[in-house]
Amino acid sequence: MNQPDLGALPGTPAGDGWWMPGEFEAHEGCWMLWPERPDNWRERARPAQAAFAAVAAAISRFEPVRIGVSPAHAAAARAQLPSSVAVVPLAHDDCWMRDVGPTYLVAERPQLRGVHWRFNAWGGLEGGLYHPWDQDERVAAEVLSLEARGRYRAPIVIEGGAIHVDGQGTALLAEECVLNPNRNPGMTRERMEAVLRDYLGVTHFIWLGLGVYNDETDGHIDNLACFVAPGKVCLTWTDDRADPQYERSREAWERLNEARDARGRRIEVARLPMPGPLYMTEQEARGLAPSEACKPRSAGERLAASYVNFYFANGGVVMPLFDAPTDAQAAEMLRGLCPEREVIGVPAREILLGGGGIHCITQQVPDPRAPRVRPTARGAA
């Protein structure tokens, strides 16, 4: 039973004229969280902290970055981060700002609001990734309150990494995750679409099936495919028919080729090569603190690596580096897809070992001053 949330706005974003813009649109800045827990991040999270600091430094070349840090870690984080990155005291259980942070909304006026989704650590007590998650559940509300922005409390469990939009009325989603009963048991696709229309201001859905093989989020879209512009999607891809990712990507490719967006356009699809396959090593697994509170990880586990898990910054693309030959191919493709942006690679294996990528650890704050027109339903554009 959802408790009434007295600090939340009444009504719904769409009803009030708000919508989620595309990530490729102008930003005011970026939020991140600091990795701290020794049961998810090896060697007391030191290698992950170095990787997060490198991501923050790369993004801060393009836009302001704020990073939420538990008070006990504030001094150590400050010492590891460049002075261009602001450190903000913020309690959290782990560090996936994409998933626990607000989904920002824009309107035809220079302000922002945010959606505070319900969070259950990617599946709750049956199959979720850690417990408790009560501090993570509050991160979106804390961030919006720090920024004095209006907050809508959504009635569903979902994570930011499960949602991509084109900012013109289209949402791109994966069934494996968004319709998974471990998030919202008993919820139908129709009801889910109705809630997402209300809270994202979208009018049209492109549903893909399964996400990336062995992705512990149950197939977040942000690891499989993303919009690089309205009408243009990039998809993680392998030509190896024997790889378990092949069928997943092939099916997504077919669905994207058949799809239309909210404005009735066909989707142009670019295939980004998949790295690896990559696996956790003995040494990496040995560096994790044993714990009852966190999903165990072991040597030999396939890692859900994907170049689609990059971050759009103002004038830049910050992409994960995993594996030299495919890194170069993916970077080349992203330069071709986003010729007006500088593409920067940041080593991301340490982030991958914790179960995600650069997109998963970031949350863009849209620029509320960018001129925008409210998306309209198909045919009315």
Catalytic residues: 360
Q: Which of 360, 363, 365, 375 binds ligand KQY (CB under 6 A)?
A: 360
- How many angstroms separate the CA atoms of 158 and 179, rounded? 10
The answer to whether residues 163 and 171 touch, using CB atoms and an 8 Å cutoff, is: yes
Q: How far is the CB of 22 from ligand KQY (least distance, A)?
A: 17
Q: How far is the CB of 306 from ligand KQY (least distance, A)?
A: 9
**Region binding ligand KQY by CB under 6 A among candidate stretches 5-13, 139-147, 259-267, 354-362:** 354-362
The total of other beta-carbon atoms located within 10 Å of residue 274's CB is 27
- How many angstroms separate the CA atoms of 221 and 212, rounded? 8
Tell me the DSSP string of 238-279.
---TTSHHHHHHHHHHHHHHH-B-TTSPBPEEEEEEPP---B
Residue 14 or residue 178: which is nearer to ligand KQY going by CB?
178
> C-alpha angle with apex 189: 188 to 195, nearest 5 degrees?
95
**Region binding ligand KQY by CB under 6 A among candidate stretches 94-102, 111-119, 131-139, 254-262:** 94-102
For residue 167, the 8-state DSSP code is S
Q: How far is the CB of 93 from ligand KQY (least distance, A)?
A: 11
190 contact partners, CB below 8 Å, separation of at least 6: none
From residue 50, how far is each of 16, 30, 136, 344 by CA, in Å? 42, 18, 22, 17
Residue 14 or residue 252: which is nearer to ligand KQY going by CB?
252
Q: Which of 138, 151, 204, 220 binds ligand KQY (CB under 6 A)?
A: 220
Instruction: Give residues 147-206 in contact with ligand KQY (rule: CB under 6 A).
Output: 161
Q: Which of 24, 41, 96, 213 binds ligand KQY (CB under 6 A)?
A: 96
Of 139, 141, 161, 142, the residue nearest 151 (C-alpha):
141
330 contact partners, CB below 8 Å, separation of at least 6: 272, 273, 275, 307, 319
Residue 216 or residue 261: which is nearer to ligand KQY going by CB?
216
Q: How far is the CB of 130 from ligand KQY (least distance, A)?
A: 8
- Interface size with ligand KQY, residues (CB under 6 A): 14
In the chain, the amino acid numbered 349 is R
Of 63, 90, 4, 85, the residue nearest 317 (C-alpha):
63
Q: How far is the CB of 97 from ligand KQY (least distance, A)?
A: 9
Q: Which of 176, 222, 261, 367 binds ligand KQY (CB under 6 A)?
A: 222
In the chain, the amino acid numbered 311 is Y
The total of other beta-carbon atoms located within 10 Å of residue 297's CB is 18
Q: How far is the CB of 301 from ligand KQY (least distance, A)?
A: 12
**Region binding ligand KQY by CB under 6 A among candidate stretches 68-76, 79-87, 92-100, 252-260:** 92-100
Residue 295 or residue 374: which is nearer to ligand KQY going by CB?
295
Q: Which of 114, 355, 368, 375 binds ligand KQY (CB under 6 A)?
A: 355
Binding mask 112-141 toward ligand KQY (x if CB under 6 A, else -) reads -----------------x------------
The answer to whether residues 95 and 34 touch, using CB atoms and an 8 Å cutoff, is: yes
Residue 359 or residue 372: which is nearer to ligand KQY going by CB?
359
Residue 92 found at the interface with ligand KQY (CB under 6 A): no
Which H or E element spans position 191?
helix 189-200
Q: How far is the CB of 7 from ligand KQY (least distance, A)?
A: 25
Binding mask 197-216 toward ligand KQY (x if CB under 6 A, else -) reads -------------------x
Closest residue to bound ligand KQY by CB:
161
Residue 356 found at the interface with ligand KQY (CB under 6 A): yes
The total of other beta-carbon atoms located within 10 Å of residue 336's CB is 10
- How many angstroms separate the CA atoms of 219 and 251, rounded? 14
Q: How far is the CB of 218 from ligand KQY (least distance, A)?
A: 10
The residues binding ligand KQY (CB under 6 A) are 96, 98-99, 129, 161, 216-217, 220, 222-223, 354-356, 360
